[in-house]
Structure 1
Amino acid sequence: MLSAQHYYPFFIYSVLLLSIVQCISLQSTSQYALLSTRKGIGGMVVYCIAFIILVGLRPVSYHFGDTVSYAHMYYGYQRGTTLCDPESSEWLFNGMMSRASHVMNVQYFFLIIEFFYIVPMLWACMRLVSKNGSIAMLFCLGAFSFFSYGVNGIRNGMACSLILLALSFVLGTKKEKIIAGVLCFCAYNIHHSTALPILCMIIAYVYRNTRMVMYFWLFSIVVSLVAGGIVENFFSGLGFDDRLNGYINSHQYDDSFSSTGFRWDFLLYSVMPIWLGWYVIFKKKIVSQNYQLLLNTYILCNAFWVMLIRSSFSNRFAYLSWFMYPLVLAYPLLTLPIWKDQGKKTGMILMAHVLFTYFMWLIKG
């Protein structure tokens, strides 16, 4: 078993290697072959199983942020010093922890959480990008926030993975819409912050004018620059901060968010899927209901984060849009006819996406 400090290096180098191999393969892939040929998913399934087992059975260590806090809560349930209140907020996660504490040790509980983090995400990739599900999942693995929410903000990560899966069902049949509703219900009762992406998903489902949604995002920048403090006070008064009392706050990206003022660097990071969406929908005039739903939901969620970008706790809101980032980026590249040399460009974008995560880790040191 790896020592705690070696988990992330092992992970990021494995994803980097997979991305390089995939990028080389895509260099000679035509648009037709990329979009019409179903690629095998077996290799990615094996990787995901290995990730679930290795990371799920990780040691309880401060290298994994809130893992230690969740472990102490779990030990409290095992000793009987912590009692589960069925009427408490986020009762589903607390109930899972309480029941599991009577039949298994904490590592096996983390293994279950890791399963519900990875499997819904992989399933969403396979449903939304059926012919290139493994490449879509590779985009997810290479995302800036992926590893952190598998070991640190595990409750938020699991809940947001259920939202991703719900997004793949919401435009389907009546039965599939019910499934989407059940998934959203579960996500909300695991982590109440998912109320934001659920609300944005509903708005994006009803209101599909992407141009106006993009204007709203631009307006959110103006609001943040002119009245950011007022907006921050308003949202902090809603109780988002109180929800985290009693356990260690997320530290995985504290250094990245520690600078004061408006974070133009993270705004630039966030705008990439939006710029691609503008190019696909308005420049290339390609219409896709699934893509519009994904893109509009992402933009709306990100707009709320932009309005809070100056705040000391904006990292807690960033993930509420960034968990969608890799799929919003990958979906048009892997399903829509954008460029003649689409395979080559997709490989380059994949590498840029993963290298950003890699260099952020190197900078953090």
Structure 2
Amino acid sequence: MFLQITGYMTLIGLTLYLGLRPVSGRYFVDMATYYNYFQNYSLGAHVTSSKDVVFHYFMKFSSHFMTAHGFFLLMDIIYIYPLYLFSKKYFKQYWYYSFLVLIVSFSFYSYGTNGIRNGAATSLFVLGLCFPENKIKTGICFITAALFHKSLTLPIGAYLLTLMYNNPKTYLIAWLAAIPVSLVAGSVFVSLFSSLGFDDRLAGYLTGQGNLDVPVYTGFRWDFIFYSSFAVFAGWYFIIKKGFHDTFYFKILNIYLICNAFWILVIRAPFSNRFAYLSWFLMGIVIMYPILKQPLFKNHQLFISKIITVYFLFTFLMYFVYYN
């Protein structure tokens, strides 16, 4: 009962805290851009953007009957509530453990306040994973996610690939192989992917010509690979060492490995963190799923609490020590 009450208080409190934040381009950067779009739509402006047009029509539709603050609250409901639904569906009475790990993940706050369209799109993808028995609902969620942000075509493509081949050992080897390949020929992949017909914004992320708000870091990001390896190690450990077998978990892990391997190949791109997030949003699920589905350790509850504590501390140190 304590976990349930605490979980619902966290769900409601966090949604209101993020959704009712003040409009600020200084602290939340892209929020100011969305605010200007919303205000223009509320005054009757037409949708002129040709990129992620469904999101813009959704914003324009919302501007007819709610304020900008109401819209940002709605976006954070779309961002946070699917994480609760996923946790509730797969982990039942232990849903709060999963939900807690997801909201203390490294990129959670940034994509709830700054890159809100990308964050909402990834959560719609997670929502699609809640209906493995209903391909129509899954398809609707995935298509909506891609229409909100085109970058979601990568995890959607990875999902489709796992329907054809779902052996995690192969994808683990491929992830490991991507590191030396990127070290040797990373610039080749950056040039290749930037010339394959991506939209201008996505190509801008790869070439460093995008009008973005974040500092530009280039080079081989060993720190990001170290962070990404947590989920890779967890998947390897639970499947190979502990013998955990769950077809759905294999699928989640393989989607993570495919998307993260793609990011490793373009890791030298100035804004490769945008691609890293296309796998990172699944990291909490990859780490927590096996230990919440099956008692794999002695003092299992204590082990879960240790994992959550370490996961949170890493996020805390990354934000306030490493990047500060």
Whether these two folds match at TM > 0.5 is yes
Given the alignment, which residue of 82, 86, 96 partners 1:134?
Answer: 96
1:216 aligns with 2:174: yes
- Structure 1 residue ranges (4+ consecutive) displaced by more than 4 angstroms after TM superposition: 244-248
> Does the C-alpha gap of structure 1 residues 248 and 101 become closer, same or farther in structure 2, counting only changes over 3 Å?
farther
Q: Which amino acid aligns with 2:276?
A: A
1:168 Cα deviation after fit: 2.7
CA distance in 2, matches of 1:295, 1:182: 22
1:192 aligns with 2:150: yes
CA distance in 2, matches of 1:140, 1:45: 15
CA distance in 1, matches of 2:295, 2:195: 46
> Does the C-alpha gap of structure 1 residues 247 and 306 become closer, same or farther in structure 2, counting only changes over 3 Å?
closer
1:91 aligns with 2:49: no
In the other structure, the counterpart of 2:16 is 53
1:265 Cα deviation after fit: 1.7
Given the alignment, which residue of 289, 293, 297 partners 1:339?
Answer: 297
In the other structure, the counterpart of 1:115 is 77
In the other structure, the counterpart of 2:314 is 356
1:239 Cα deviation after fit: 5.3
In the other structure, the counterpart of 1:102 is 64
Write out per-residue CA displacement over residues 47-73 of structure 1, whole angstroms, 9 at most, x where no aligned residue: 221222222121111201210111111
CA distance in 1, matches of 2:211, 2:219: 24
Q: Which amino acid aligns with 1:273?
A: A
Q: Is the 8 A contact 2:107 2:280 kept in 1?
A: yes
In the other structure, the counterpart of 1:279 is 237
In the other structure, the counterpart of 1:304 is 262
CA distance in 2, matches of 1:39, 1:183: 32
1:241 Cα deviation after fit: 6.4
In the other structure, the counterpart of 2:249 is 291
1:268 aligns with 2:226: yes
1:46 Cα deviation after fit: 2.1
Given the alignment, which residue of 25, 29, 54 partners 1:65?
Answer: 29
Structure 1 segments unaligned to the other structure (5+ residues) = 1-37
In the other structure, the counterpart of 1:6 is none
Q: Is the 8 A contact 1:159 1:194 kept in 2?
A: yes
Q: Which amino acid aligns with 1:157?
A: G
Matches within 5 A, 1:138-217: 138-170=100-132, 172=133, 176-217=134-175
1:90 Cα deviation after fit: 1.8
CA distance in 1, matches of 2:137, 2:2: 27
**Structure 1 vs Structure 2 CA RMSD:** 2.1
1:187 Cα deviation after fit: 0.4
Deviates more, 1:351-360 or 1:340-349: 340-349
Which structure has more relative contact order (CA 8 Å, sep 6+)? It is 1
CA distance in 1, matches of 2:96, 2:233: 24
Q: Which amino acid aligns with 2:22?
A: P
Matches within 5 A, 1:224-263: 224-238=182-196, 240=198, 242-243=200-201, 249-251=212-214, 254=215, 258=217, 260-263=218-221
- TM-score normalized by the length of structure 2: 0.92
In the other structure, the counterpart of 2:38 is 74
CA distance in 2, matches of 1:108, 1:135: 29
Q: Which amino acid aligns with 1:73?
A: Y
Q: Which amino acid aligns with 1:193?
A: S
Q: Is the 8 A contact 2:62 2:71 kept in 1?
A: yes
- Residue aligned with 1:147, SS: helix
CA distance in 2, matches of 1:85, 1:128: 41
CA distance in 2, matches of 1:302, 1:89: 24
CA distance in 2, matches of 1:97, 1:193: 19
Q: Is the 8 A contact 1:159 1:187 kept in 2?
A: yes
Q: Is the 8 A contact 1:295 1:328 kept in 2?
A: yes
- TM-score normalized by the length of structure 1: 0.82
- Residue aligned with 2:92, SS: coil
The number of residue pairs the alignment matches comes to 317
Identity of aligned residues (%): 38
Q: Which amino acid aligns with 1:322?
A: W
Write out per-residue CA displacement over residues 69-97 of structure 1, whole angstroms, 9 at most, x where no aligned residue: 111111221233x41259x4422211111
Q: Is the 8 A contact 1:281 1:287 kept in 2?
A: yes
Structure 2 segments unaligned to the other structure (5+ residues) = none
- Residue aligned with 1:112, SS: helix
